[in-house]
């Protein structure tokens, strides 16, 4: 019985081993590719020291606020204690701190101040890349705010939106406004042209009153919004389809009794992820609005917002991958199994290395699109740059959205059972990643957008793609260590060219079936070329070469592989349907 005193599991004694948690370190210092990329393209000391300082703040302060946003999600208070309708969306103090921080750090403003010329967007997006996984989804309102500012700027800053523009792009927390983006209605979010039932009734003072139901409105605590509606003529008639849509700007305000003016918040959505942020269903009941676009030019006018929010989405996707890799590799130094650290199990490190390759590819692809955006905005873009930006925006959004889910899911497994435990904060990364391929255009809708922009440019966007991708390989000529990667990208480019030429002669519907595989092929091949180009830079490391080789080992051109198997033949849709509904 004397031995009982030493039994470690007894009464309050629950054993002496406790696993060290993974530690978030400064995400700027921890990211070799981010620092390499910036040394190459934006070596300004001011930018680098700001990013390093911000990385420190993210790790030591902001990350905890992000967790607070998750633990203290928004709620909707419909009525005050005396029964008056208030529709108040109550958000956490941490969510409000995120708003102030976003203004102070210039997370939208940087894109409009343009202190680093054509590299300003790269700088802004690098900051958002560090912020995103710790932001409690505050990157969502920032994306829409940036998109709204971009639309207002591109349409022209009239007196009706002058104040809004300056508040959306300010660094002053007390003046900073955020914007919503209310497009989706109950009938459909992809097919906005058919889905929009909201009508705009002209008023004698030149403004409009909106009546409709917006089915998804995220970050609904926004100060203003951009939205689509159909203008009614004198007889109350509207034009159907996309050609009947007009873009409006509206402010979200309250009357002296505290009631929202022209809006009823029906309910908050009960979501898989993004729970830190309110997403509401809104009845627009006479919301006062200002017409921003010409009548019938709503979709074309909101397209600038879509470009910006899709780029933000891609940044968040790459950032989610980066975060899970950083935490998983840290954990691998702390966790022991079968007598050694996880990092010393070669199979585990191989898994981490594969995640790292995906993350690096995603980062370079997104940064390249930010580079193009910056060139366009600072007036130095060539026609090739502009065409490339149009093509690569949907491509990068759809590809990184899918990568993020796969990499984050793999990342959770790296923590074993703990990766599945809510109180570690890890599952939220996966739940939040899942939305990235749904909102701002699903994978299929963006694949079809790729086809449409190719068709409408009479092939010019593809010409830009082939010319630029080929030019990225130039620096690798004669670099023997990269030869297998260069050969793969070269082969993929000529196969893609043949595929596209051949597809032009096929029956209608052929390209529609190939759309997703084509978009993936464009993404993989372009990213391969970017990785090769980066590996040839004078400051590149052996790991940069290794990444390029590994990336280019995969099937860069799934559209060609599947074409050879007859996947897009006219008989396929009937076979697919028979299988699905078997
Ligand atoms: O989901 C949402 C918010 C979520 C929260 C924010 C997250 C931000 C990221 C945060 C990270 C954490 S808001 C809802 C988003 N909804 C969508 O993305 C809609 C998806 N559907 C589409 O994208 C469709 O392709 C539509 C709606 C654009 C299709 O409409 P149409 O009318 O059939 O389109 P058309 O006929 O192709 O194009 C009409 C005009 C054309 O210009 P014109 O008339 O001059 O020839 C097109 O060239 O619009 C132009 N256009 C574009 N221009 C259409 N799409 C684009 C584009 N992507 N870029 C440039
Ligand atoms: P549908 O259009 O019904 O699509 C269903 C499926 O059909 C998808 O897989 C789609 O790819 C596929 N599909 C549709 N058409 C085709 C086709 N032609 N070919 C092949 N496949 C097709 N919207 C806003 O406007 N503002 C917001 O703030 C906002 N916030 C959101 C927040 C969250 C958390 C979520 C989940 C959504 C939010 N949305 C918002 C809505 C979002 O943009 C839409 O859900 C999205 O665009 C898809 O529209 P849908 O839900 O109507 O799906």
Residues 141-180: tens digit of each pLDDT: 999 999 999 999 999 999 999 999 999 999 999 999 999 9
Q: Give yes or no for residue 271 CB within 6 A of ligand 2.
A: yes
Residues 6+ apart with CB under 8 A from 409: 430
Tokens of 567: 């996947």
Angle at CA of residue 350, ends 472 and 132, nearest 5° = 65
Give residue 13's pLDDT: 77
Residue showing tokens 């009464």: 11
Tokens of 330: 């840290």
How many angstroms does the Cα of residue 508 sit away from the middle of ligand 1? Answer: 23
How many angstroms does the Cα of residue 311 sit away from the middle of ligand 1? Answer: 13
- Please, which pLDDT band fits residue 9 given cuts at 50, 70 and 90? confident
Beta-carbon neighbour count of residue 558 at 10 Å? 18
Residue 479 has pLDDT above 60, yes or no: yes
Please provide the average confidence, as pLDDT, over all residues in the chain. 96
- Please, which pLDDT band fits residue 2 given cuts at 50, 70 and 90? low
* Mean pLDDT confidence for 561-571: 94
How many angstroms separate the CA atoms of 57 and 380, rounded? Answer: 34
Angle between the N-to-C axes of helices 346-377 and 383-413, in degrees from 0 to 180, rounded to the nearest 10: 150
Say if residue 257 is exposed, middle or buried (CB neighbours under 10 Å; 0-12, 13-18, 19+): exposed
How many angstroms separate the CA atoms of 142 and 165, rounded? Answer: 14
- Please, which pLDDT band fits residue 8 given cuts at 50, 70 and 90? confident
Per-range mean pLDDT, top range of 10-24, 392-406, 499-513? 392-406
pLDDT digits (tens, 9 = 90+) for 38-83: 999 999 999 999 999 999 999 999 999 999 999 999 999 999 999 9
Nearest atom in ligand 1 to the alpha carbon of residue 139 is 12
Determine if residue 89 is left, alpha or beta; phi over 0 gives left, psi from -120 to 50 gives alpha, anything else beta. beta
Sign, CA dihedral 24-26-31-32, equals negative
Give residue 258's pLDDT: 87
Exposure b/e, 75-87, CB count within 10 A at least 16 = b: ebeeeeeeeeebb
Pocket of ligand 1 (CB under 6 A): 139-140, 143-144, 181, 183-184, 189-190, 192-193, 218, 242, 299-300, 303, 306-307, 309, 312-313, 316, 439-441, 445, 449, 452
Ligand 1, atom 7: closest residue by C-alpha: 140
What pairs with residue 241 in β-bridges? none
How far lies 216's CA from each of 190, 192, 265, 323, in Å?
A: 12, 13, 11, 28
Give residue 504's pLDDT: 85
The closest alpha carbon to 67, from 107, 94, 44, belongs to: 94
pLDDT digits (tens, 9 = 90+) for 527-558: 999 999 999 999 999 999 999 999 999 999 99
How many angstroms does the Cα of residue 448 sit away from the middle of ligand 2? Answer: 14
Residue 4 has pLDDT above 70, yes or no: no
Q: Give yes or no for residue 274 CB within 6 A of ligand 2.
A: yes
Percent of residues, the chain, with pLDDT higher than 90:
95
Give strand ranges (E) for 33-127.
75-79, 85-90
The ligand with the least distance to the CA atom of 433 is 1
Give residue 10's pLDDT: 74
Residue 7 has pLDDT above 80, yes or no: no
* Mean pLDDT confidence for 484-492: 98
pTM over the 0.80 mark = yes
Percent of residues, the chain, with pLDDT higher than 70:
99
Ligand 2, atom 27: closest residue by C-alpha: 217
Give residue 5's pLDDT: 59
The ligand with the least distance to the CA atom of 150 is 1
Nearest atom in ligand 2 to the alpha carbon of residue 512 is 19
The ligand with the least distance to the CA atom of 316 is 1
Residue 482 has pLDDT above 90, yes or no: yes
H/E stretch holding 245 reads: strand 245-251
Residue 506 has pLDDT above 80, yes or no: yes
How many angstroms separate the CA atoms of 59 and 420, rounded? Answer: 22
Residue 3 has pLDDT above 80, yes or no: no
The ligand with the least distance to the CA atom of 442 is 2
How many angstroms does the Cα of residue 184 sit away from the middle of ligand 1? Answer: 11
How many angstroms does the Cα of residue 216 sit away from the middle of ligand 2? Answer: 10
pLDDT digits (tens, 9 = 90+) for 91-121: 999 999 999 999 999 999 999 999 999 999 9
How many angstroms does the Cα of residue 90 sit away from the middle of ligand 2? Answer: 26
Report the first-to-last Cα separation within the chain, whole angstroms.
68
* Mean pLDDT confidence for 458-478: 95
* Mean pLDDT confidence for 239-248: 97
The ligand with the least distance to the CA atom of 195 is 2
* Mean pLDDT confidence for 367-392: 97
Residue 203 has pLDDT above 80, yes or no: yes
Q: Give yes or no for residue 190 CB within 6 A of ligand 2.
A: yes
How many angstroms does the Cα of residue 462 sit away from the middle of ligand 1? Answer: 20
Tokens of 378: 């600072």
Phi and psi dihedrals of 343, rounded to 5? -65, -20
Task: Out of 179, 247, 299, give the residue to mutate to test ligand 1, the one with the largest number of ligand atoms within 8 Å of its CB.
Answer: 299
DSSP H helical ranges for 270-382: 298-332, 346-377
């Amino acid at each position: 019985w004397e031995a009982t005193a030493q039994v470690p599991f007894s009464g309050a004694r629950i054993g002496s081993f406790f696993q060290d948690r993974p530690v978030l370190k400064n995400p700027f210092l921890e990211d070799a590719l981010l620092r390499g990329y910036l040394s190459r393209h934006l070596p300004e000391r001011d930018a680098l020291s700001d990013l390093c300082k911000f990385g420190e703040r993210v790790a030591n302060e902001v990350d905890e606020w992000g967790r607070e946003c998750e633990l203290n999600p928004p709620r909707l208070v419909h009525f005050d204690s005396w029964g008056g309708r208030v529709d108040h969306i109550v958000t956490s103090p941490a969510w409000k701190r995120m708003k102030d921080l976003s203004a102070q750090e210039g997370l939208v403003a940087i894109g409009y101040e343009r202190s680093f010329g054509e590299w300003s967007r790269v700088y802004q997006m690098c900051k958002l890349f560090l912020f995103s996984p710790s932001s409690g989804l505050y990157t969502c309102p920032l994306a829409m705010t940036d998109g709204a500012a971009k639309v207002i700027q591109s349409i022209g800053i009239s007196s009706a939106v002058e104040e809004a523009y300056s508040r959306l792009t300010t660094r002053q927390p007390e003046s900073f406004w955020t914007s919503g983006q209310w497009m989706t209605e109950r009938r459909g979010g992809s097919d906005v042209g058919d889905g929009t039932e909201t009508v705009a009734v002209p008023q004698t003072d030149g403004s409009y009153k909106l009546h409709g139901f917006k089915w998804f409105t995220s970050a609904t605590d926004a100060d203003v919004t951009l939205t689509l509606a159909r203008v009614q003529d004198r007889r109350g008639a509207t034009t159907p389809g996309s050609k009947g849509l007009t873009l409006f700007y509206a402010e979200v305000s309250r009357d002296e009794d505290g009631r929202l003016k022209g809006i009823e918040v029906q309910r908050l959505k009960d979501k898989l992820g993004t729970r830190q942020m309110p997403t509401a269903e809104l009845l627009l009941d006479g919301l006062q609005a200002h017409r921003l676009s010409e009548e019938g030019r709503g979709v074309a006018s909101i397209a600038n917002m879509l470009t910006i929010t899709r780029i933000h989405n891609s940044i968040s996707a790459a950032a989610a991958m980066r975060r899970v890799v950083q935490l998983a590799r840290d954990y691998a130094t702390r966790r022991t199994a079968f007598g050694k650290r996880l990092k010393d199990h070669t199979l585990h490190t191989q898994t981490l290395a594969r995640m790292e390759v995906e993350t690096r590819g995603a980062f370079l692809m997104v940064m390249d699109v930010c580079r193009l955006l910056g060139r366009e905005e600072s007036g130095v873009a060539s026609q090739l740059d502009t065409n490339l930006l149009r093509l690569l925006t949907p491509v990068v959004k759809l590809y990184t959205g899918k990568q993020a889910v796969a990499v984050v899911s793999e990342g959770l497994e790296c923590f074993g059972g703990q990766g599945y435990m809510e109180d570690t904060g890890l599952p939220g990364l996966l739940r939040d990643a899942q939305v990235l391929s749904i909102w701002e255009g699903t994978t299929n809708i963006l694949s079809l957008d790729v086809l449409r922009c190719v068709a409408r440019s009479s092939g010019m966007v593809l010409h830009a793609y082939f010319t630029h991708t080929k030019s990225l390989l130039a620096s690798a000529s004669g670099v023997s260590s990269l030869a297998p990667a260069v050969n793969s990208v070269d082969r993929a480019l000529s196969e893609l060219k043949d595929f596209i030429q051949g597809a032009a002669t096929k029956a209608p519907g052929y390209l529609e079936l190939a759309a997703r595989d084509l978009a993936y092929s464009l993404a993989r091949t372009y990213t391969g070329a970017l990785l090769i180009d980066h590996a040839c830079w004078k400051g590149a490391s052996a790991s940069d070469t290794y990444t390029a080789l590994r990336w280019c080992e995969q099937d860069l051109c799934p559209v060609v592989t599947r074409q050879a198997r007859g996947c897009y033949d006219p008989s396929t849709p009937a076979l697919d349907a028979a299988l699905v509904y078997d």
